[in-house]
Structure 1
Amino acid sequence: MSEMIDTEELREAIRGVLADRAGDSIEIPEEEGRGLDRALWEEMAGLGWLSLAIPEAHGGLGLGLTHLGVLYEELGRQLASVPALPTMLAAAAIAEHGDETMKARWLPRIAAGDCLAAVALPGEAGLPVLGPGNRIDGAVDHLAFAGVATLLLIPVRSAAGTALALIEPAADGVSVTPRPVVDLTRSVGHVTLSGVAVEAGALLHLDAQAWDALVNHAAMGLAVDAVGGAAALLDRTVEYLTVREQFGRPIGSFQALKHRAADWKVKIEAMTALARHAAALGEAGAEDASATASAAKAYACDTYAAFCGDAIQLHGGIGFTWEHPCHLFLKRAKLSQQLFGSSTVHKERAARFAFERQSAEGDRPAPMLEWA
């Protein structure tokens, strides 16, 4: 099926729909942020975007990471307030590792837009514990879109190892508390689990390779989101440089500003190539998929944040105001640097995987991520 849908045609279709919705402006939310654009989410479901990677047996299109990467990138261009990445992560985990009962229960709901997921991955912080009677105790902080999710995927530690538990927020013992966050286009929450009962059929027991695949997907998703946001802000910045005049001429004609814009163009092209390559390697299951995904996440998100800071400067006084969208891009970029592992974590992960290929004696690195 993936060969039948060209990625560039998909990109044009998604970009056209999102551009028609938003017009030429980006809505500036209030101080509490948008949290969730439910109207957009419902439209995405109606257009089949949430079915892209759902297996055909469960009503989806059966596409892969390259097509999902297009969706993530275009949503990043519009600073979309929807949990596309965590929900597609949930779909991938269920489709690859769930039993038929789990697949039949959740995958059609994800495709229809009825299930919004929040996903955490193993990290250096203490994991919730799966104790006697399959009851979970613990907490996860700063979980993206936890407050709007209808399904939580939480890694838990047990005597048998680390499993991914599917938990409904309405279950007894689950508490989700909103956390203040600088990014006004997304939301985060603190999840507390107190004796939460989970059925054995709601636990996904993943090996190291499966965990790596989820980490790679998450890293790639944030990298291409950064690509979309940086490209959109660059377009806005260049347009501003061509219309803003100083000393009787457009400021974009000044050599210093022209060179700064050109330098950022080169860096954004580089992060675009790396992030899209990470998606292709992840879909192919290539040996260097993990190293490339982590390298893409670290480079793209760091470049995005740095460019947003300079774009505010290039916009002059107007760039510092609440009414201008520059600060929305910057705040989204700063949160993306931390979600699913900081840049330092991903640089270390990329290095460990790269060195592993050169060492005949090296053990496969275990996933190491900070809490999402």
Structure 2
Amino acid sequence: MSGIACSFGHYARAGTRAVPTSQRSELFGNQNVTPCNEDLVTFSENICEVLTTVCDRRSVHAYFDGGNDLDLTLWDRATELGWLGIGVSEEFGGLGLGPRGLDVLFRSLGQNVSPGPFCSTLVGAQWLSECTALDVAKQFVSAVVAGTLSLGIPVAPGGVSMKMQGGRITGESETLLIHPRTRLSILPVNNEGEAGFALVPVGAGDADLARIELWDRTNSIGRVKCRNVAPAAVIPDPRGRAVDLLRCYLALAVASDSVGGARAIADQTVAYLKLREQFGRPLASLQALKHRAADLYVAIVKAEQVLECAIDAADGDVASAGMWAALAKAAASEAYLSVADDCMQLHGGVGFTWEFDCHIYLKRALLNRQLAGDNRALRDLAAGQLTEATLAGITTAEFAA
């Protein structure tokens, strides 16, 4: 991951300031909230209202400059309002809204480029609630819902595993999406020949976090260095179902964050074009810029539609959920990067300044493209799953349903 930072170094020096935050209807439209689910509608309205106040543009810029602890403030508010339990079932103290509830939250967080360990923690909690023994899940997922525990997860599930022998782990993990204050990480391990995951306490002396510098200051990555560490729990995964589920949930989270961010910066850019004048005319009146603005929304809507299919599949627990999640992440993250890049140019020279918002969205988009795995690999994975289904006699329509 550190090598990626070098590749995109020229982006890390770009910059931007805000146009007023888009209204909820501009963000959520028909794709984000199921009309029949009143809980989701109410929840989305509350989330947008809180983020507009707590995570406004000035606060985000101040956080980027190291001038506040917005990530911790936002985490505390999320705990108070029950956001941390939106996806997990009532059994763990959550709201039980599942993948669709997480989609609503992650789109809003993406819209406001909100900092904090939300992605890694909520993805990890959802995964733990479905992949671990009930007593283990209750211990850790309930702590997440209570706001006393955040989680670290691999940036690309399915990567290199750490060796575990005699119930102990020694070595350095792969790159993790992990907050500096995170105290529990989900690490892939090879437990004497058996694949699985280990829940490793971080910062207890035998497992330390080595942070990696990242261009996107709203997120944190790093590696955990273990010295003969006894994990808090081990989750066997001989058939690879657990890693597939973790990848699926992370891909959905990144896709939701991406479409939320893409729509937000596109809305800001269109608002700017309407206000900015050149040669006595608003820039928005120029046909060439109208077409470019329209292209932004075409890309966003296409990604939103793929994501909607993925959320439906995950919510219905169908066999094609992993395929749709992989396709949604690839489509949404690429659309986000393309939109954020073009929005910076449509702002003109000020789009490259630190005071405007464009650079914050662009840096988030660059990171999102790397999370959950390389997009080409994800599309290959989806194609492989479709091929397997076809060879098993399942029609494309049946598999995609």
**Could you say if the C-alpha distance between residues 36 and 18 of structure 1 is closer, same or farther in structure 2, counting changes exceeding 3 Å?**
closer
TM-score by length of 1: 0.90
2:91 corresponds in structure 1 to 57
The 5 Å alignment of 1:115-126 reads: 115-120=149-154, 125-126=159-160
1:31 Cα deviation from its structure 2 partner? 5.8
Larger displacement relative to structure 2 (115-124 or 86-95): 115-124
1:274 aligned onto 2:306: yes
Work out whether residues 33 and 184 of structure 1, in 8 Å CA contact, stay in contact via their aligned partners in 2.
no
1:288 paired residue among 320, 330, 348: 320
C-alpha distance in 2 between matches for 1:215 and 1:172: 29
CA offset digits 1:66-120 (Å, max 9, x no partner):
1111101100101111222211222123222322331332122111111111112
Work out whether residues 40 and 82 of structure 1, in 8 Å CA contact, stay in contact via their aligned partners in 2.
yes
1:249 paired residue among 281, 291, 301: 281
1:217 aligned onto 2:249: yes
2:364 corresponds in structure 1 to 332
C-alpha distance in 2 between matches for 1:261 and 1:154: 42
1:316 aligned onto 2:348: yes
C-alpha distance in 2 between matches for 1:33 and 1:214: 34
**Could you say if the C-alpha distance between residues 162 and 36 of structure 1 is closer, same or farther in structure 2, counting changes exceeding 3 Å?**
farther
**Could you say if the C-alpha distance between residues 119 and 279 of structure 1 is closer, same or farther in structure 2, counting changes exceeding 3 Å?**
same
CA offset digits 1:216-250 (Å, max 9, x no partner):
11101100100000010011000000000000000
Question: Which residue type is aligned with residue 100 of structure 1?
Answer: L
2:4 corresponds in structure 1 to none
2:77 corresponds in structure 1 to 43
TM-score by length of 2: 0.84
2:329 paired residue among 270, 275, 297: 297
2:20 corresponds in structure 1 to none
2:8 corresponds in structure 1 to none
**Could you say if the C-alpha distance between residues 59 and 123 of structure 1 is closer, same or farther in structure 2, counting changes exceeding 3 Å?**
closer
C-alpha distance in 2 between matches for 1:318 and 1:153: 41
C-alpha distance in 1 between matches for 2:338 and 2:297: 13
1:203 aligned onto 2:234: yes
Gaps (5+ residues) in structure 2?
Answer: 1-33, 395-401
Question: Which residue type is aligned with residue 205 of structure 1?
Answer: P
Gaps (5+ residues) in structure 1?
Answer: 363-372
C-alpha distance in 2 between matches for 1:265 and 1:115: 38
C-alpha distance in 1 between matches for 2:68 and 2:386: 39
CA offset digits 1:289-342 (Å, max 9, x no partner):
111110110111011011111111000011000111100100010011111211
1:155 aligned onto 2:188: yes
1:127 aligned onto 2:161: yes
1:306 corresponds in structure 2 to 338
How many residue pairs were aligned?
Answer: 358
Identity of aligned residues (%): 33
C-alpha distance in 2 between matches for 1:136 and 1:113: 27
